[in-house]
Amino acid sequence: MSRRSRNTIRRRAFTLVESLAVVVVLSIAVPPAVSMMVDAARTQADSVKMTRATWFATSILENIIADVNSDDVNLGFSALDDSNAYLTTATTGLNNRLSAVIAHYSGFGLTHSVQIGALSDSTGAVSGTPSENVFRTITVGVTWTNMNGVSRTLNIGAVVTDL
Protein backbone atom coordinates (compact mmCIF):
# COMPACT_ATOMS: atom_id res chain seq x y z
CA MET A 1 0.00 0.00 0.00
CA SER A 2 1.33 3.37 -0.84
CA ARG A 3 2.01 6.05 1.73
CA ARG A 4 -0.78 8.23 0.34
CA SER A 5 -3.47 5.53 0.73
CA ARG A 6 -2.45 4.83 4.37
CA ASN A 7 -2.79 8.55 5.25
CA THR A 8 -6.18 8.67 3.59
CA ILE A 9 -7.43 5.74 5.66
CA ARG A 10 -6.07 7.25 8.82
CA ARG A 11 -7.77 10.58 8.15
CA ARG A 12 -11.20 8.98 7.68
CA ALA A 13 -11.26 7.14 11.01
CA PHE A 14 -11.78 8.64 14.48
CA THR A 15 -8.95 8.48 16.92
CA LEU A 16 -9.43 7.15 20.42
CA VAL A 17 -9.05 10.67 21.82
CA GLU A 18 -11.76 12.02 19.51
CA SER A 19 -14.09 9.16 20.48
CA LEU A 20 -13.50 9.79 24.19
CA ALA A 21 -14.14 13.53 23.69
CA VAL A 22 -17.50 12.75 22.06
CA VAL A 23 -18.46 10.42 24.92
CA VAL A 24 -17.54 13.06 27.53
CA VAL A 25 -19.48 15.81 25.72
CA LEU A 26 -22.53 13.59 25.34
CA SER A 27 -22.40 12.48 28.97
CA ILE A 28 -22.45 16.14 29.99
CA ALA A 29 -25.11 17.32 27.51
CA VAL A 30 -27.63 14.45 27.42
CA PRO A 31 -28.84 14.27 31.09
CA PRO A 32 -29.94 17.94 31.27
CA ALA A 33 -31.63 17.63 27.87
CA VAL A 34 -33.52 14.52 28.98
CA SER A 35 -34.49 16.24 32.23
CA MET A 36 -35.86 19.22 30.29
CA MET A 37 -37.86 16.89 28.05
CA VAL A 38 -39.34 15.09 31.08
CA ASP A 39 -40.29 18.44 32.66
CA ALA A 40 -41.88 19.54 29.37
CA ALA A 41 -43.86 16.30 29.17
CA ARG A 42 -45.10 16.75 32.76
CA THR A 43 -46.09 20.34 32.07
CA GLN A 44 -47.96 19.30 28.94
CA ALA A 45 -49.76 16.49 30.79
CA ASP A 46 -50.72 18.92 33.58
CA SER A 47 -52.07 21.35 30.98
CA VAL A 48 -54.17 18.58 29.44
CA LYS A 49 -55.57 17.67 32.85
CA MET A 50 -56.37 21.32 33.60
CA THR A 51 -58.15 21.64 30.25
CA ARG A 52 -60.17 18.48 30.90
CA ALA A 53 -61.07 19.75 34.38
CA THR A 54 -62.26 23.03 32.86
CA TRP A 55 -64.41 21.22 30.28
CA PHE A 56 -65.84 18.93 32.95
CA ALA A 57 -66.72 21.73 35.38
CA THR A 58 -68.16 23.87 32.60
CA SER A 59 -70.27 20.98 31.32
CA ILE A 60 -71.79 20.40 34.76
CA LEU A 61 -72.36 24.12 35.36
CA GLU A 62 -74.03 24.57 31.96
CA ASN A 63 -76.40 21.70 32.76
CA ILE A 64 -77.31 23.30 36.10
CA ILE A 65 -77.99 26.63 34.40
CA ALA A 66 -80.15 24.84 31.81
CA ASP A 67 -82.03 23.10 34.64
CA VAL A 68 -82.64 26.42 36.40
CA ASN A 69 -84.17 27.80 33.21
CA SER A 70 -86.16 24.64 32.44
CA ASP A 71 -89.97 24.55 32.34
CA ASP A 72 -89.94 20.94 33.60
CA VAL A 73 -91.95 20.63 36.84
CA ASN A 74 -89.07 18.73 38.50
CA LEU A 75 -86.50 21.35 37.57
CA GLY A 76 -86.36 25.14 37.54
CA PHE A 77 -84.89 27.47 40.13
CA SER A 78 -86.98 25.94 42.93
CA ALA A 79 -85.34 22.52 42.39
CA LEU A 80 -82.21 23.97 44.00
CA ASP A 81 -84.07 24.43 47.32
CA ASP A 82 -83.21 20.81 48.20
CA SER A 83 -79.70 20.48 46.81
CA ASN A 84 -79.30 16.88 47.93
CA ALA A 85 -82.45 15.78 46.09
CA TYR A 86 -81.52 17.84 43.03
CA LEU A 87 -78.10 16.19 42.83
CA THR A 88 -78.72 12.61 43.94
CA THR A 89 -82.34 11.57 43.27
CA ALA A 90 -82.38 8.29 41.37
CA THR A 91 -83.14 8.71 37.63
CA THR A 92 -83.86 12.47 37.80
CA GLY A 93 -80.95 13.79 39.89
CA LEU A 94 -78.19 15.74 38.15
CA ASN A 95 -75.53 13.11 38.87
CA ASN A 96 -77.72 10.39 37.37
CA ARG A 97 -78.59 12.42 34.28
CA LEU A 98 -74.90 13.23 33.74
CA SER A 99 -73.64 9.74 34.57
CA ALA A 100 -72.11 9.21 31.10
CA VAL A 101 -70.23 12.52 31.28
CA ILE A 102 -69.12 11.85 34.85
CA ALA A 103 -67.92 8.33 33.92
CA HIS A 104 -65.99 9.71 30.95
CA TYR A 105 -64.08 12.25 33.04
CA SER A 106 -63.67 9.84 35.96
CA GLY A 107 -61.70 7.69 33.54
CA PHE A 108 -59.18 10.53 33.40
CA GLY A 109 -58.89 10.62 37.20
CA LEU A 110 -61.18 13.63 37.70
CA THR A 111 -63.74 13.89 40.50
CA HIS A 112 -66.30 16.62 41.00
CA SER A 113 -68.38 18.33 43.64
CA VAL A 114 -71.30 20.74 43.35
CA GLN A 115 -72.04 23.35 45.99
CA ILE A 116 -75.38 25.14 45.86
CA GLY A 117 -75.38 28.26 48.00
CA ALA A 118 -78.21 29.60 50.10
CA LEU A 119 -80.59 32.20 48.76
CA SER A 120 -78.93 35.61 48.90
CA ASP A 121 -79.43 39.16 47.74
CA SER A 122 -77.63 40.92 44.90
CA THR A 123 -74.55 41.48 47.08
CA GLY A 124 -74.21 37.78 47.89
CA ALA A 125 -75.33 38.21 51.50
CA VAL A 126 -78.46 36.72 53.02
CA SER A 127 -80.78 39.65 53.50
CA GLY A 128 -83.25 40.12 56.32
CA THR A 129 -85.83 40.82 53.63
CA PRO A 130 -86.81 37.48 52.03
CA SER A 131 -88.03 39.15 48.83
CA GLU A 132 -84.45 40.31 48.19
CA ASN A 133 -83.02 36.79 48.51
CA VAL A 134 -83.49 35.68 44.90
CA PHE A 135 -79.97 34.56 43.91
CA ARG A 136 -77.96 31.39 44.45
CA THR A 137 -74.25 30.82 43.90
CA ILE A 138 -73.40 27.52 42.25
CA THR A 139 -69.81 26.28 42.47
CA VAL A 140 -68.54 23.23 40.64
CA GLY A 141 -65.20 21.89 41.82
CA VAL A 142 -63.13 19.39 39.86
CA THR A 143 -60.20 17.66 41.55
CA TRP A 144 -57.33 15.66 40.04
CA THR A 145 -53.77 14.66 40.84
CA ASN A 146 -51.08 16.38 38.79
CA MET A 147 -47.95 14.69 37.43
CA ASN A 148 -46.02 15.50 40.63
CA GLY A 149 -48.62 13.68 42.74
CA VAL A 150 -50.15 16.88 44.12
CA SER A 151 -53.94 17.16 44.35
CA ARG A 152 -55.31 20.16 42.45
CA THR A 153 -58.83 21.60 42.41
CA LEU A 154 -60.44 23.90 39.87
CA ASN A 155 -63.58 25.76 40.98
CA ILE A 156 -65.95 27.39 38.50
CA GLY A 157 -68.98 29.25 39.71
CA ALA A 158 -72.03 31.13 38.56
CA VAL A 159 -74.86 33.08 40.11
CA VAL A 160 -78.35 31.98 39.11
CA THR A 161 -81.77 33.50 39.70
CA ASP A 162 -85.40 33.09 38.75
CA LEU A 163 -86.06 36.70 37.77
Dihedral sign for Cα 37, 42, 43, 47, please: positive
Q: Taking all residues of the chain, what is their mean pLDDT, rounded to a whole number?
A: 84
| Domain ranges, ordered by start, for the chain | 3-161
List, for residues 121-142, the tens digit of each pLDDT value: 887 778 777 778 889 899 999 9
Answer with the residue of higher pLDDT: 106 or 29.
Answer: 106
Which strands make up the sheet holding 135-145, listed edge to edge? 111-116, 135-145, 151-161
State the CB neighbour count (10 A cutoff) for residue 57: 24
DSSP notation for 87-105:
HH-TTTSHHHHTHHHHHHH
pLDDT of amino acid 24: 81
Which residues have C-beta within 8 Å of that of residue 42, sequence separation ≥ 6? 147, 148
Percent of the chain clearing pLDDT 90 (strictly above): 38
State the CB neighbour count (10 A cutoff) for residue 94: 20
Does residue 10 register a pLDDT over 60?
Answer: no
Which residues have C-beta within 8 Å of that of residue 83, sequence separation ≥ 6? 114, 116
Does residue 72 register a pLDDT over 80?
Answer: yes
Share of the chain residues as helix, strand and coil, in percent rounded to the nearest 5: 55, 20, 30
Instruction: Quickly count helices (H) and strands (E) in the chain.
Output: 5, 3
